[in-house]
Structure 1
Amino acid sequence: MFILPLFIVISLVLYIYYKVMIIRTKDPLTQDYLNSKSKVFLGSFIFFFGINQYVFYQTKLSLFIGLLFLVLGIFQAQSGWKASKHYRKEYQKLQSKTQS
């Protein structure tokens, strides 16, 4: 099962990347957009970590913790996805105004 740790590492790296990009920008709309994208990757990190937790240990306690992580990861990714769609539209409107 090499694929789950790979997804975990990729999700964590992208989460950290977007958090660093938030610090580097000054525009509040861009910061909100990048924060929503980082929430998606945080949710995927928690989701894949929950799956890996159960696959690795396979006990009742790890099943409970894994299910908790799965639910939290899904909710985090879903809220980040919705916010990302909203801010993407606003960001495109802002970009079209500045180009005009």
Structure 2
Amino acid sequence: MLVLVFLIGLSACFYVYYKVKGVRAKPSLAKEICSAKSSMALGSLVLFYGLNQMILFHSVLTLVIGGIFIVIGAGSAWAGYKAFRHYNPLHAKEAERDHA
């Protein structure tokens, strides 16, 4: 499916973008937020890739491996989301303190 290929490419672009942004970030909380976002992007890339493989090929082995990719990708995206939710308020407080 062309939509999944587009989402895989978009996820890869976001992953590279947030990895580079995280390396270039100065404060440690900004690095953690970029790391969490890149984890979400990589998780979605793996999830979409597994889903794409399950749709394209219908062998038992492909379905099992695609299912494993979906579970791992969803777990990585969920862990990245949890990390983002943890670090985002701390980063907002730090930014507010720096501007005051």
Q: When the two structures are superposed, what TM-score results if normalisation uses the length of structure 2?
A: 0.97
Q: Which runs of 5+ in 1 are unaligned?
A: none
Amino acid at match of 2:76: Q
- Structure 2 Cα separation of the partners of residues 44 and 20 of structure 1: 18
Structure 2: any 5+ residue segments left out of the alignment?
Answer: none
Provide the residue aligned with 2:53 in structure 1: 53
TM-score calculated relative to the size of structure 1: 0.97
Residue 55 of structure 1, CA deviation: 1.0
Q: Which amino acid aligns with 1:67?
A: G
Indicate yes or no: 2:32 matched with 1:32.
Answer: yes
**Corresponding position of 1:9:** 9
Say how many residue pairs are matched.
Answer: 100
Identity %, equivalent residues:
35
**How much does 1:35 deviate?**
0.1
Q: What corresponds to 1:22 in structure 2? A: 22
CA offsets 1:5-58 (integer angstroms, 9 cap, x no match): 000000010001000001111211110110001100111000000000111111
Residue 63 of structure 1 corresponds to: 63
User: Following superposition, which runs of at least 4 residues in structure 1 exceed 6 angstroms of deviation?
Assistant: none
